[in-house]
């Protein structure tokens, strides 16, 4: 376990103990509450607009307001912004966001309460060049970084200003990329270099972040960072966020998956939900995420783990048997609970199956569920042959033989069951799986577990079951199941994204099933489950959009543009399209996008294929058509 250690406990909820860093009178880390923050999208030189937006953010719950300072003039104007806010009675700490300009950082550090720098952009070059780098050349570059970064550290130390060392997956320097690759390890090493410079100057008011638009990379990087900190006896607080998460349901799902997976293990001292929406809409989402952990310490007991067989720093899917189309190399399956609603053609159309009675034909969508769970419900209509049906064991016994009808039984029923048929076994607690059950599971190639929990620390309890089976070399496929009581869809969205997504990010789970007697909009539930699989990149059913939340550097309407791009390209299944507000974040933080749409000036756009720029400074009025032409030219277009 020690080589994989990244949190205080894998069984009991306990926050990882970090040092306290005071930021303008609102400390984070240690035993302080998990703080919430966001970033303005206004032009930093427009004091009035920036103040107004900051106030809206603060009144929505923002505890730290971040403002971009891309050059010296913006850094200097932070003083005016701060003075107006203070005159209006708002004392919320301000954070300056710095990318390329050390001089701007040094000016901002004498004004605001925290400065955020990106190691990959701050000093190093980012030209996407491949080259061999010797140890001597590498160390010479480190020496240059030391000389350019140390003045900022000294100013922060003199002024009581904190520093966030914010590494982004897509912004790793060429030097780091050529030494460590485009990896979580590269992200961590990039931050550690800057931490060591701070420590050499006896400066410790440091906050760390490891952001990526890919939640798998993001989670693995934060875990690895903590692992390295433990080894080097560091304990700096963590700022959590999924960068360029997007907007709407997709942005909320992706942010909840990445942030929640870390909070579940007690990692994280402040969070920012990055949505391509006005920043005040980010804050209620962030609040709902952290509300999950207010009373988590009171959860029911979970057995401790002596041997942890999962590498938390590298994604690997659990090896399982294939039963039907579940498990092994199959994509995770979606099961929709229809046990409490009347099963009609209209209901089936909401989960992806549309029946044309005139020609007796079914149309199946890309987000059609694979199974329905009917419980003891009656089925009075014709069903598509592609759709599997799961029912209660008692109903199955009374039913006529139907190769698409599969029983769900509890463990006691399963232990007595002798028929050679495919069956689902419902497991509610990790303590229910005995040696007898494990022995039977190991000799049964026609069984699928439906794993549920009522523990308030439910994801961790479910993970404990996966660990039990992994340690016993039991390859029975597992469908992750959760039952929610909340009637508000946004809360369901956040809870499900965290609970399912945290397991899927570790390669655990061969299917997903969600029930909620208080909320029976099966269409939204179906779309949510497919969205979670998309967000964890375990099942791709649509285009993936990577879009930044905008800031003062953006010189076009990012929200409207993202909507237009989505409207034109949402049918391109599997394609990753990035819509980025500026050249600072664009080429780097698109990370693994197939196509990039990047702001490069006042209503000017450049288009990328991967990391390669193919068209420069297109008028924004013509840019979406140019993007579509580029996709067509490269053979990735299909007609909707």
| Average pLDDT of the segment spanning 607-626 | 83
Same domain, 49 and 119: yes
Each residue of 227-247: pLDDT tens digit? 999 999 999 999 999 976 677
Same domain, 485 and 587: no
Confirm whether 198 is domain-assigned.
yes
Confirm whether 299 is domain-assigned.
no
Residue 1: pLDDT above 60? no
Q: Measure Cα distances from 267 to 34, 303, 374, 495 in Å.
A: 10, 20, 39, 17
With beta carbons less than 8 A apart as the criterion, state whether 218 and 169 touch: yes
Alpha carbon distance 366, 381 (integer Å): 23
CATH number at residue 554: 3.30.413.10
Question: Mapping DSSP to helix (H, G, I), strand (E, B) and coil, where does residue 166 land?
Answer: strand
pLDDT at position 583: 57
Please, which residues have CB within 8 angstroms of residue 57's CB and are 6 or more apart in sequence?
Answer: 38, 40, 65, 279, 280, 283
Q: How confident is the model at residue 611 (pLDDT cuts 50, 70, 90)?
A: confident
CATH number at residue 64: 3.20.20.20
Which range marks the domain in which residue 497 is found?
333-535
Same domain, 353 and 229: no
Same domain, 353 and 500: yes
Total of domains in the chain: 3
Q: Supply the angle between the helices 435-442 and 458-471 in degrees, to the nearest 10.
A: 60
Each residue of 14-35: pLDDT tens digit? 999 999 999 999 999 999 999 9
With beta carbons less than 8 A apart as the criterion, state whether 389 and 374 touch: yes
Residue 212: pLDDT above 60? yes
Q: How confident is the model at residue 310 (pLDDT cuts 50, 70, 90)?
A: very high
Each residue of 263-292: pLDDT tens digit? 999 999 999 998 878 899 999 999 999 999
Give the burial class of 59: count Cβ atoms within 10 A of its Cβ; 0-12 exposed, 13-18 middle, 19 or more buried. Answer: exposed
Average pLDDT, the chain: 90
Same domain, 415 and 396: yes
Residue 183: pLDDT above 60? yes
- pTM score of the predicted model: 0.89
Same domain, 552 and 528: no
Residue 402: pLDDT above 60? no
Confirm whether 439 is domain-assigned.
yes
Each residue of 289-303: pLDDT tens digit? 999 999 999 999 998
**What does residue 321 show for φ and ψ, rounded to 5 degrees?**
-75, 155
Q: Which tops the pLDDT comparison, 329 or 604?
A: 329
- β-bridge partners, 207: 164
With beta carbons less than 8 A apart as the criterion, state whether 368 and 541 touch: no
| Average pLDDT of the segment spanning 598-604 | 77
CATH number at residue 444: 3.20.20
Q: Which tops the pLDDT comparison, 567 or 511?
A: 511
Residue 213: pLDDT above 80? yes
Confirm whether 598 is domain-assigned.
yes
Confirm whether 362 is domain-assigned.
yes
Same domain, 382 and 431: yes
Alpha carbon distance 329, 584 (integer Å): 39
pLDDT at position 321: 96
pLDDT at position 550: 56
Same domain, 432 and 478: yes
Last residue of a domain, one of 294, 323, 350: 294
Most confident option among 213-217, 429-433, 574-578: 213-217
Same domain, 173 and 204: yes
pLDDT at position 126: 61
pLDDT at position 181: 85
pLDDT at position 590: 59
Q: How confident is the model at residue 107 (pLDDT cuts 50, 70, 90)?
A: very high
Same domain, 557 and 508: no
Last residue of a domain, one of 535, 569, 597: 535
Same domain, 71 and 153: yes
Q: Which tops the pLDDT comparison, 628 or 580?
A: 628
Confirm whether 328 is domain-assigned.
no
| Average pLDDT of the segment spanning 188-202 | 96
Same domain, 496 and 602: no
Chain centroid, CA 58 distance in Å:
24
pLDDT at position 555: 61
Confirm whether 301 is domain-assigned.
no
| Average pLDDT of the segment spanning 104-111 | 97
Last residue of a domain, one of 294, 320, 350: 294
- β-bridge partners, 424: 408, 448
The candidate with the shortest Cα–Cα distance to 500, out of 492, 224, 366, is: 492
Confirm whether 556 is domain-assigned.
yes
pLDDT at position 586: 53
Q: How confident is the model at residue 624 (pLDDT cuts 50, 70, 90)?
A: confident
Each residue of 55-102: pLDDT tens digit? 999 999 999 999 999 999 999 999 999 999 999 999 999 999 998 789
């Amino acid at each position: 376990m020690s080589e994989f250690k990244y949190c205080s406990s894998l069984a009991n909820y306990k926050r990882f103990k970090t040092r306290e860093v005071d930021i303008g009178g609102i400390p984070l880390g240690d035993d302080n509450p998990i703080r919430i923050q966001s970033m303005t999208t206004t032009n930093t030189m427009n004091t009035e607009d920036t103040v107004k937006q900051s106030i809206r953010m603060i009144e929505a719950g923002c505890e730290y307001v971040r403002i971009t300072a891309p050059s010296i003039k913006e850094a200097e104007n932070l003083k005016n912004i701060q003075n107006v806010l203070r005159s209006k009675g708002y004392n919320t700490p301000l954070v300056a966001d710095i990318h390329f300009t050390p001089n701007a950082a040094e000016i901002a550090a004498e004004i605001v309460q925290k400065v955020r720098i990106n190691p990959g952009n701050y000093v190093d070059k980012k030209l996407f060049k491949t080259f061999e780098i010797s140890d001597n050349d590498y160390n010479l570059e480190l020496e240059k970084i030391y000389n350019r970064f140390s003045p900022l550290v000294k100013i922060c130390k003199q002024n009581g200003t904190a520093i966030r060392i914010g590494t982004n997956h897509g912004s790793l320097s060429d030097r780091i990329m050529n030494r460590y690759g485009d990896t979580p390890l590269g992200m961590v090493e990039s931050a550690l270099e800057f931490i060591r410079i701070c420590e050499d100057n006896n400066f410790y008011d440091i906050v760390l972040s490891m952001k990526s638009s890919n939640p798998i990379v993001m989670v693995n990087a934060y875990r690895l960072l903590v692992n390295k900190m433990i080894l080097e006896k560091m304990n700096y607080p963590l700022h959590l966020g999924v960068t360029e998460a997007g907007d709407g349901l997709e942005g909320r799902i992706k942010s909840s998956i990445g942030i929640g997976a870390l909070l579940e293990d007690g990692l994280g001292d402040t969070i920012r939900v990055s949505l391509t929406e006005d920043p005040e809409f980010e804050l209620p989402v962030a609040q709902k995420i952290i509300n999950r952990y207010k009373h988590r310490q009171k959860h029911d007991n979970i057995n401790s783990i002596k041997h942890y067989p999962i590498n938390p720093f590298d994604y690997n899917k659990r090896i399982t048997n294939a039963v039907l189309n579940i498990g092994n190399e199959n994509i995770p399956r979606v099961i929709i609970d229809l046990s409490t609603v009347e099963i009609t053609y209209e209901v089936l159309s909401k989960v992806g199956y549309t029946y044309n009675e005139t020609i007796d034909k079914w149309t199946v969508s890309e987000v059609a569920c694979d199974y329905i769970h009917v419980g003891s419900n009656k089925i009075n209509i014709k069903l598509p042959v592609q759709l599997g049906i799961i029912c209660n064991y008692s109903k199955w016994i009374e039913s006529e033989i139907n190769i698409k009808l599969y029983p769900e039984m509890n463990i006691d029923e399963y232990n007595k069951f002798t028929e050679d048929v495919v069956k689902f076994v419902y497991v509610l607690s990790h303590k229910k799986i005995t040696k007898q059950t494990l022995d039977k599971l190991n000799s049964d190639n026609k069984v699928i577990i439906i794993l549920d929990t009522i523990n308030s620390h439910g994801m961790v309890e479910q993970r404990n079951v996966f660990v039990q089976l992994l340690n016993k070399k039991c390859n029975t496929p597992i469908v992750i199941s959760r039952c929610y009581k909340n009637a508000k869809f946004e809360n369901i969205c956040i809870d499900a994204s965290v609970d399912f997504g945290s397991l899927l990010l570790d390669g655990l789970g061969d299917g997903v099933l969600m029930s909620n007697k208080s909320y029976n909009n099966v269409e939204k539930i179906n779309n949510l489950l497919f969205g979670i699989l998309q967000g964890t990149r375990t099942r791709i059913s649509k285009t993936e959009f990577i879009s930044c939340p905008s800031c003062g550097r953006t010189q076009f309407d990012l929200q409207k543009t993202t909507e237009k791009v989505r409207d034109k390209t949402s049918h391109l299944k599997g394609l990753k399209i990035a819509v980025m507000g500026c050249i600072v974040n664009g080429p780097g933080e698109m990370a693994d996008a197939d196509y990039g749409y990047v702001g490069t000036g006042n209503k000017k756009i450049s288009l990328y294929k991967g990391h390669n720029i193919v068209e420069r400074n297109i008028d924004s009025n013509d840019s979406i058509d140019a993007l579509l032409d580029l996709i067509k030219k490269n053979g990735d277009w299909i007609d909707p």
